[in-house]
C-alpha cells in the first residue's frame, strides 16, 4: 500500500535516476528510431550535465501482435537498461501507463509516447525545472501536426472539459511529463480502476509547471488511437473528473418536467374553456410536436449522460485490475531501486 506521506521533500541537488515509461502497441516501426534517439539524448555527457546518474526505460507492451517486444529485447541485449512489461492483451494506453507507473522505482520518472511525438530532449529541460523546485512538469502542445478534424476535436475537448469540470485540466497537456517519486506515489495511491493519467496528475496537485512545445508528427508507423478509443478517452476524462454533466442532466430534467407540466395545465385548462382548443387546421400541432421532440431529446441526452457515468461506476464496482502483466523482461542491471515503495 502506498502512502502519500511516505516520501518527504526530495533532495534536488544530488544526481538522480530517471525512469522513462513508454506504452507501446504495435510499434515495431518506431522502436529502433526511439531507442536510437534516447541513446543520443541521454548520452554520458548530457546525463552528467543534467545530473542524471542512470536512465532506465520501462517499456509497456500493450498487447502488441508485431515484433515490438523482440525489437526491444534486442536493444536490451545491446546493453540498454530496460524493463519490458508485457500486458496480457491490449488494455489501452492509459492502463499501460498505469502499469509502468506502478513499476517505477527511480527518483524521477517520465511518461512519453513511443512515436517520438513527445521529444525526449525536452526531458532534460524538465529535469532542470524539477531541480529548480517544480514537482511535476508536463508538456503543453502548442502546435500539432494532426489533421484538422483531430486538431479541432483536441482543442474543443480541453475547453469543453474545463467549462464542465470541477477539477480543471491544464489545456492542451497530454500525458508527456516528468514527475518525482513523491508525486508518482500520490498518483499510484489513487484507487480508481478507470484511470485517466493526465487527470490524476492534475488532481494530485504539488508544484506543477507547463513546458510548451510544438508537437511533431509521428516518426513512423501508424497512429494507434482510433476515433472510438479517443472518444472513450474523452468520456473517461469527463466522468472521472467531474459530476457537472450529471448535475446538468438533472437540472435539464427538472426544467423539462416543469415545462411539460405547464404545457399540460395549459392544454387541459384551455380544453375546459370552450372555443380555446386548437383548431382543426392544426394550429397547435407544430408547437406540440416541438415540445414533444425537445422533451424527448432532453430525456435521451439525460439517459446518455447517466449511462456514461453508470457504466464507469459499474467498472469501478467490479474492481477488476486495470491491466494484467503476462511477462516481464528486465536487463541485468535491473531497475535501480532508489525509491523502494
Q: What angle do CA 334, 68, 122 make, to 5 degrees?
A: 65
* Half-sphere CA count of 149, side-chain side, radius 13 A: 2
**DSSP H helices in 212-243:** 227-241
Closest to ligand UDP by CB, 115 vs 236, is 115
57's enclosing H/E stretch is strand 52-61
Please report whether residue 25 would count as binding ligand UDP according to CB under 6 A.
yes
Please report whether residue 117 would count as binding Mg ion according to CB under 5 A.
yes
Rounded CA-CA distance 200/156 in Å is 20
Closest to ligand UDP by CB, 116 vs 183, is 116
Stretch that binds ligand UDP, among 36-44, 85-93, 103-111, 197-205 (CB under 6 A): 85-93
How many C-beta neighbours within 10 Å does residue 145 have? 11
Please report whether residue 93 would count as binding ligand UDP according to CB under 6 A.
yes
Tell me the per-residue interface mask from 178 to 207 with ligand UDP, x by CB under 6 A, - otherwise: ------------------------------
Closest to Mg ion by CB, 114 vs 210, is 114
**DSSP H helices in the chain:** 28-41, 44-50, 68-77, 93-102, 121-131, 148-164, 181-189, 197-203, 227-241, 244-272, 285-318
DSSP character at residue 218? P
Q: Which residues pair with 166 in a beta bridge?
A: none
Phi/psi at 31 (5° precision) = -55, -45
Q: How far is the CB of 137 from Mg ion (least distance, A)?
A: 20
Tell me the per-residue interface mask from 172 to 211 with Mg ion, x by CB under 5 A, - otherwise: ----------------------------------------
Q: How far is the CB of 299 from ligand UDP (least distance, A)?
A: 34
Residues 35-74 that bind ligand UDP (CB under 6 A): 62
Tell me the per-residue interface mask from 212 to 251 with ligand UDP, x by CB under 6 A, - otherwise: ------x----xxx--------------------------
Burial (CB count <10 Å: 0-12, 13-18, 19+), residue 34: buried
Q: Are 278 and 285 in contact (CB under 8 A)?
A: yes
Q: How far is the CB of 20 from ligand UDP (least distance, A)?
A: 12
Q: How far is the CB of 138 from ligand UDP (least distance, A)?
A: 15
Closest to Mg ion by CB, 117 vs 239, is 117
Chain residues in the site for Mg ion (CB under 5 A): 113, 115, 117, 218
Chain residues in the site for ligand UDP (CB under 6 A): 23-25, 27, 62, 90, 92-93, 96, 113-115, 117, 218, 223-225
Amino acid at each position: 500500500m502506498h502512502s502519500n506521506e511516505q516520501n518527504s521533500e526530495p533532495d534536488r541537488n544530488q544526481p538522480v535516476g530517471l525512469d522513462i515509461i513508454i506504452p507501446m502497441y504495435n510499434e515495431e516501426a518506431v522502436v529502433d528510431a526511439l531507442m536510437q534517439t534516447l541513446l543520443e539524448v541521454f548520452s554520458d555527457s548530457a546525463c552528467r550535465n543534467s545530473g542524471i546518474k542512470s536512465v532506465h526505460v520501462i517499456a509497456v507492451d500493450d498487447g502488441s501482435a508485431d515484433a515490438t517486444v523482440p525489437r526491444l529485447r534486442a536493444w536490451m541485449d545491446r546493453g540498454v537498461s530496460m524493463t519490458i512489461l508485457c500486458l496480457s492483451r491490449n488494455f489501452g494506453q492509459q492502463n499501460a501507463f498505469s502499469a509502468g507507473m506502478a513499476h517505477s522505482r527511480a527518483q524521477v520518472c517520465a511518461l512519453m509516447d513511443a512515436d517520438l511525438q513527445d521529444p525526449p530532449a525536452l526531458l532534460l529541460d524538465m529535469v532542470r525545472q524539477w531541480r529548480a523546485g517544480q514537482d511535476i512538469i508536463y508538456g503543453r502542445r502548442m502546435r500539432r501536426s494532426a489533421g484538422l478534424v483531430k486538431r479541432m476535436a483536441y482543442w474543443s475537448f480541453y475547453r469543453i472539459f474545463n467549462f464542465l469540470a470541477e477539477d480543471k485540466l491544464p489545456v492542451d497537456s497530454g500525458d508527456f511529463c516528468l514527475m518525482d517519486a513523491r508525486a508518482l506515489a500520490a498518483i499510484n495511491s489513487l484507487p480508481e480502476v478507470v484511470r485517466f493519467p493526465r487527470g490524476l496528475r492534475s488532481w494530485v496537485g504539488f508544484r506543477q509547471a507547463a513546458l510548451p512545445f510544438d508537437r511533431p508528427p509521428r516518426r513512423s508507423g501508424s497512429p494507434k488511437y482510433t476515433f472510438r478509443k479517443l472518444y472513450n478517452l474523452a468520456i473517461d476524462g469527463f466522468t472521472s473528473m467531474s459530476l457537472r454533466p450529471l448535475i446538468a442532466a438533472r437540472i435539464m430534467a427538472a426544467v423539462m418536467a416543469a415545462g411539460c407540466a405547464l404545457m399540460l395545465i395549459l392544454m387541459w385548462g384551455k380544453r375546459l374553456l370552450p372555443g380555446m382548443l386548437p383548431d382543426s387546421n392544426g394550429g397547435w400541432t407544430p408547437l406540440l410536436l416541438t415540445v414533444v421532440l425537445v422533451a424527448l431529446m432532453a430525456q435521451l441526452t439525460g439517459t446518455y449522460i447517466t449511462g456514461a457515468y453508470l457504466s464507469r461506476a459499474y467498472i469501478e464496482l467490479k474492481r477488476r485490475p486495470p491491466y494484467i502483466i503476462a511477462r516481464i523482461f528486465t536487463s541485468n542491471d535491473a531497475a535501480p531501486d532508489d525509491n523502494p515503495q
